Structure formats: structure tokens, C-alpha cells
Amino acid sequence: MSPRQLLTGADVRELFTSVLPDDVLARFIEETRFQERDRKLEARRFIRSTVIAAAAGSGGRQSNVMEFYFDSGARRVARGGFYAWFNERFEDTMESVLWHALEYARRQPLDLPPLMARYARDWHIYDSCTIKLADRLKVEYPGTGDYAALKVHKRFSVGIGTMVDYHLSPAREHDGPHLVIDDTWRGLGLLADLGYVSLQLIADCAAFNVRFVIRLKESWKPRVERIRRGEIQGTFFAGSDLDALLDAETIVLGGRVVDAEVSIGPPGRAVRCRLVGVPAPDGSYRFYLTDLPATAGPLQVSDFYRVRWEIESDNKLDKSCNHIDEAHAETGQATRALIYASLTSSMLACLLAHRHRLNMKPPTKKNAERKDPPLHPQSLASAMATASARIAAAFDLQGAAADIAWQSLAEYLEHLGRDPNWRRSPSILDQLRGWKISPGRPRRARLASSTRKRAN
């Protein structure tokens, strides 16, 4: 039985025309003065070409944009004249386009697993993506070695499934200062890479009512104040060093979970939180710090942290599909403009996948069997690349012709955007949403079955 179509032409049209609308692009072009006297430049077509061509992946990024822009019907100009358009005003315009996409994303309905929604209104993941640049940018963006590189620090919403904030920094700078917990985080949950974690971060989470789940840093030495769960042999004094208790086998691991209240840091700056230990498949233990209440068991805390992988997939989307690390322009403004285009293109794929999830609706009963495959942003981005000319052309259509074009695009994107591994490797989010996903039969078994049916 073929899957139902859940992504409609109206969905696809609304998304693309909301992120890249004519009136908003015209306003940005006027505000940045991107197009003042150059009559050869079709500015709105140029902006859309830069975003849609991000996934093209053949040759240099600027030449990809040029090829796509000319093929879409724009007036041809010399290569040097075309590259001159990648100036500071174009950078400002593309940054405005990205911020417009972020504002649109933040307005979308949330689709958060019930267990995660129990403890925070949404969960945000914080991580960075490093991009090597042309050598002549080493002064502006020094890397950790003798090369140029920058970091995109990303704030990713689990409930929306896309980036909702970002900023750039030289790659040489440490991650820690680039995550600031302030009032915008109030009532949210945080899953963060260890590079951003500090004692001050934990204290700030308490001050702003932010739930967090993070890995325990190897350099930190927790002092155990109380043990809620775990096998204890003998007695220990409150404030005992965790490593000493494990070495002396006062706390016996043995495949069981550990749940303790700990303090970390020097006197006067110490923070208190919960530490859970969960056995890994290889027999080792993974320790997490959290301020979730005891109603979230150690295995559930571990599942929360597994959700952090969503931002790693988003970084892969930026690099593998939208070629953010191939922005090898020779100037800072051209490089940043191409980075903004890649991020906007990735958001389009993520928001399409989110709209598909909303249309599917969550399971109505526990362990409901999932029948329809989810859409995967990376598969969607690849489909958007092959349909890029059709997407660009659909913007210029009106009436019934536009309806037919967008509906055809929806069918194409949903068909090619399905996650090919959804049965073999179910997403942790789908599991937390309550879906039961049975493994599919191997391809050889399916072929043998169909062969038998035809023979009979």
C-alpha cells in the first residue's frame, strides 16, 4: 500500500512564498539599497536564486548561483559584473532574508513529544558548525590553525525542527561565551554541547527557570550529597567524591542506573544538580547532569540527551546538502551572504518536514503503529535541488497554473523526501512521540514474495 500524501500544494506554496515573498524582498532591497541604478540586476530573482541554488553542489557556489540565475530567465551579464553584486549591500539583504525566515519559523506551531512538553514549553539545542574559508580571510576569521574559519553558533528548536537563532564568530574563539542564558530562555529546556557548558551556565539555568540535560565533563569532580537510586555497599559521607565512591565500589554500577544529587565547583561557587548514570551498550557508563525532577527517570533523561543529535543532523544538512562549507568567496561579505543563503535553504527543508509532521498528527493511542514514513530534511533538500528550476518558475505563476505547479511540487518533494531508514533506524523523537515502528522486511524477502505471487 502506497503512503498517503500529507504534504499539499498549499503547504509548499505558503512556505516558499512566506519565506521569500515579493513584498518583503522588495522592502529589504530598498532598505539595504542593494539595487539603485543597475538596471541589469533583477534583485528579487537574484536573491531567490542564491537561496534555491544552495543545494546545487556543482562547482563553486557563486558560479552555481550565476548559472541558476541566468537559466531562470534573467538578463545575462559578464562574470565580473555578476560577481560584483556580491557586495556589502547584498550581504545585508541576505541577512535580512535569513532573519525573516527565523521570525517565520518561531511563529510555527510546536510538535513536541509529550514527555518533553511535560517539563518545558519547548527544548532548544545549542551547538556550532565550523566552516573553513579562503586564506585571505585569516585576519578577519582566524581558525585554530594556520587557516581561516568561522563558526555558526546555532539555536535549534526541537518543537519546530529547525534553527531559530544563530550568530557567527571566528573559529578560534572558545564556544563558552557564545551561549548566554537570559530571559529569552525562560521556561525552555536546554540540550547543549560540552563546549558551551560551565558552572555559570548551570547557575543561570536555575536563575531563569531553564531545564537542562548535559553530559558530565571529565574534568568536573562531583561530590555526592544524596543517592536516590543505585546499588550501595557500605556507607558514605555527604560530599564524598564520586570517583572515589566508584573506585571503592561503594556505589556499584553493575549495569544498574544511578540517580544522585551532587554539588560541583569550589566552595562559594558550587552548584547543585542531579546526576544520573546510564549503562551504554558497550558496558561503559554515560553520566548526565540535569535539573529535571525525579519524575523523569534516568533512562528518560538519557533519551532527552539523545535528542541533541537533531542538531548534528541539521549541521550535516547545511554541509552535505546546502554546501555551507563551500562558500569559498574571496571577500567577507560574499562569504557571509552565501552562508545566510545556505542556512535559509536548510530552514526551508526543515520547515517542510515540520509541516508534514503537523499534518500527520501525533498518535491517538499508546503504541499506535506508524504507517506513513516521515520526511527527512536531507532527502527533502536533495529533492529541492533537482526541482529548483520548477520552484523558481512557480513563483511567477498565477491562478490555476500556480495551483497545479505547487501541487505537482508537493507530490514530488514528498515522494523523494521520505526518510529511507525510518523503519531500520527510527528517530528518537518519533519514539518519544509514542509511535510504534515495526522493522520492515529485507528487500530480498520482499522481492521473493512478489516473485512468488506473480508465479502463482
Over the stretch 375-405, which tens digit does the pLDDT of each residue have?
Answer: 999 999 999 999 999 999 999 999 999 999 9
Q: Does 209 reside within a domain? A: no
Three cell numbers at 328? 569559498
Question: How far, in Å, CA of 250 to CA of 78, rounded?
Answer: 75
Question: How far, in Å, CA of 337 to CA of 94, rounded?
Answer: 6
pLDDT(452) > 80:
no
pLDDT(449) > 60:
no
Highest mean pLDDT, choosing among 59-68, 77-86, 289-298: 289-298
Average pLDDT, rounded, for the chain: 91
Q: Give residue 4's pLDDT band: very low, low, confident or very high (50, 70, 90).
A: confident
Q: What is the pLDDT of residues 204-231, one digit of tens each?
A: 999 999 999 999 999 999 999 999 998 8
330 CA to centre of own chain: 28
User: Which residue range(s) make up the domain with 383?
Assistant: 9-108+331-433
Q: What pLDDT does 64 receive? A: 87
Mean pLDDT computed over 264-273: 91
Three cell numbers at 216? 558530565
Q: Contact at 8 Å (CB) between 285 and 302? A: no
Q: Does 21 reside within a domain? A: yes
What DSSP string runs through 228-284?
A: EESEE-S---TTEEHHHHHHTTSEE-TT--EEEEEEESSTTT-EEEEEEEEE-TTS-
Question: How far, in Å, CA of 200 to CA of 197, rounded?
Answer: 8
Q: Give residue 448's pLDDT band: very low, low, confident or very high (50, 70, 90).
A: low
Q: Does 351 reside within a domain? A: yes
Identify the weakest region by mean pLDDT among 162-166, 271-275, 300-304, 445-449: 445-449
Q: How many domains does the chain have?
A: 1
Q: Does 244 reside within a domain? A: no
Q: Which amino acid is at 320?
A: S
Q: What is the pLDDT of residues 348-359, one digit of tens each?
A: 999 999 999 999
Q: Does 210 reside within a domain? A: no
Q: What pLDDT does 453 receive? A: 59
Q: What pLDDT does 90 receive? A: 96
Q: What pLDDT does 226 receive? A: 93
Q: Does 308 reside within a domain? A: no
Identify the weakest region by mean pLDDT among 310-324, 355-369, 430-444: 430-444
Mean pLDDT computed over 128-154: 95
Q: 10 Å Cβ neighbour count for 187? A: 12
Q: Does 232 reside within a domain? A: no
Residues β-bridged to residue 232: 251
Q: What pLDDT does 232 receive? A: 86
Question: How far, in Å, CA of 27 to CA of 234, rounded?
Answer: 71
Q: Does 362 reside within a domain? A: yes
Q: What 3-state class would DSSP assign to 116?
A: helix
